């Protein structure tokens, strides 16, 4: 199963081409990592695994094809052995489990489970009654970097260093960074990694869609996270940009009457407070957050409907960008 799941993970990564030798190497690495085996695997073993995945013996019927007589891939880009249809037994088991979970929804500690239950119920209804889905969640399966999420998650849990090949949008060339990974963060359908960059000896944020490669580093000691509390690190932040020790700001905003109802029901941040309700229907709110690029973009997304009152530096920066944007249309 270690070999089969490794082959599946490789073939899901469509950003590189996989030869049989590549799959052998990946499976050998996985067996060493999980079982401590150093003898690797033979060519015949991997070929047998591929045939097993293609067959009905395990219920996979994996659409594995060979392109250009050397590169293995899935003929269906969205296929994975982890996404095979649920059997009737599986559906019944899930239904029973959800009935139990529903009893715990009255407790505040289990409130995060509610969303999972709703999604599972919708999936089971589609599976059993062949109805159309009634819950649609925002996702982007073509987003670059998603293939690294599982590997980084495992490295965080097992506290091991990784070497990250990284190239930002502004950099002409990529760089190799040894990192002790601490936290995965999703923001607006993009994924980010926070970790200790060993060469700079500082916390750095890596966008997963700018990561070129990831490999395990067995020669460098993992640096434990004594720098920040992952559970509360982003409490005072909109987005992911935050330097250690960067102070919060008392951000004061005027929301016009057109957008005031939306800001009331969907606060810009959990710290939002309504300071003033004006006769023209506008409101003045405050939030306690770190001033960063994501905050600016959030404010700019409302265009003329939001006015920054405080702090002055943020007001000046937003005004300058709106003036530059207006200048494009002159």
The CATH class of the 249-328 domain is alpha beta
pTM above 0.85, yes or no: no
Token output for 235: 């409490």
Q: How far is CA 248 from the centre of its chain?
A: 25
pLDDT (0 to 100) of residue 81? 84
Q: 153-216: which CATH topology? A: SH3 type barrels. (2.30.30)
pLDDT (0 to 100) of residue 52? 92
Residues contacting residue 108 through CB under 8 Å, at least 6 positions apart: none
Q: Can you say whether residue 56 is alpha, beta or left, with left for phi > 0 and alpha for psi between -120 and 50 degrees? A: alpha
Residues contacting residue 70 through CB under 8 Å, at least 6 positions apart: 19, 20
Q: Can you say whether residue 85 is alpha, beta or left, with left for phi > 0 and alpha for psi between -120 and 50 degrees? A: beta
pLDDT (0 to 100) of residue 51? 93
Q: How far apart are CA 99 and CA 105, in angstroms?
A: 11
pLDDT (0 to 100) of residue 111? 61
- Beta strands (DSSP E) in 31-169 are 64-67, 71-74, 162-166
CATH architecture, domain defined by 2-83: Orthogonal Bundle (1.10)
- What is the total residue count of the chain? 330
Task: List the chain pLDDT tens, one digit each, 330 residues.
Answer: 889 999 999 998 887 899 999 999 999 988 888 777 788 899 999 999 999 999 988 778 899 999 998 999 999 888 888 776 666 676 677 777 776 666 555 555 556 666 667 766 776 666 666 556 666 656 666 677 888 888 898 899 899 999 999 998 888 888 999 999 999 998 888 899 999 999 999 999 999 999 999 999 989 999 999 999 998 999 999 999 887 767 888 999 999 999 999 999 999 999 999 999 999 999 999 999 999 999 999 999 999 999 999 999 999 999 999 999 999 998
Token output for 255: 């929301």
pLDDT (0 to 100) of residue 128? 62
Contact call for residues 322 and 300 (beta carbons, < 8 A): yes
Question: What phi and psi, each to the nearest 5 degrees, are found at residue 139?
Answer: -155, 160
Q: How far apart are CA 315 and CA 59, in angstroms?
A: 60
Closest CA to 145 of 275, 13, 250, 48: 13
pLDDT (0 to 100) of residue 16? 85
Contact call for residues 163 and 217 (beta carbons, < 8 A): yes
Token output for 53: 């995945």
Q: Would you kindly state where each structural domain of the chain is located, as residue ranges?
A: 2-83, 88-129, 153-216, 249-328
């Amino acid at each position: 199963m270690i070999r089969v799941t490794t082959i599946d993970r490789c073939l899901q990564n469509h950003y590189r081409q996989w030869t049989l030798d590549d799959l052998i190497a990946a499976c050998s690495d996985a067996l060493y990592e999980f079982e401590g085996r150093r003898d690797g695997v033979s060519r015949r073993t991997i070929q047998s695994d591929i045939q097993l995945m293609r067959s009905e013996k395990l219920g996979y019927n994996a659409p594995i094809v060979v392109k250009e007589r050397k590169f293995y891939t899935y003929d269906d880009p969205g296929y994975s052995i982890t996404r095979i249809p649920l059997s009737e037994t599986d559906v019944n088991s899930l239904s029973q489990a959800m009935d139990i979970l529903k009893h715990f929804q009255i407790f505040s500690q289990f409130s995060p489970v509610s969303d999972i239950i709703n999604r599972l119920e919708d999936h089971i209804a589609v599976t059993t009654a062949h109805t159309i889905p009634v819950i649609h969640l925002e996702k982007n399966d073509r987003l670059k970097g998603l293939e690294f999420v599982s590997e980084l998650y495992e490295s965080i849990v097992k506290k091991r260093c990784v070497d990250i090949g990284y190239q930002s949008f502004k950099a002409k060339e990529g760089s190799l960074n040894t990192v002790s990974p601490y936290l995965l963060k999703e923001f607006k359908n993009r994924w980010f990694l926070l970790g200790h960059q060993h060469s700079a000896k500082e916390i750095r944020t890596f966008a997963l869609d700018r990561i070129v490669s990831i490999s395990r580093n067995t020669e460098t000691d993992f640096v434990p996270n004594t720098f920040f509390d992952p559970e509360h690190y982003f409490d005072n932040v909109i987005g992911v940009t935050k330097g250690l020790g960067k102070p919060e700001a008392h951000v004061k905003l005027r929301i016009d009457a057109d957008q005031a109802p939306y800001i009331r029901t969907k606060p810009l941040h959990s710290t939002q407070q309504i300071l003033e309700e004006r006769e023209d229907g506008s409101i003045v709110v405050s939030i306690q957050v770190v001033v960063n690029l994501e905050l600016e973009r959030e404010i700019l997304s409302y265009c003329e409907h939001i006015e920054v009152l405080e702090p002055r530096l943020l007001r000046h920066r937003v005004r300058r960008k709106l003036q530059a944007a207006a200048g494009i249309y002159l």
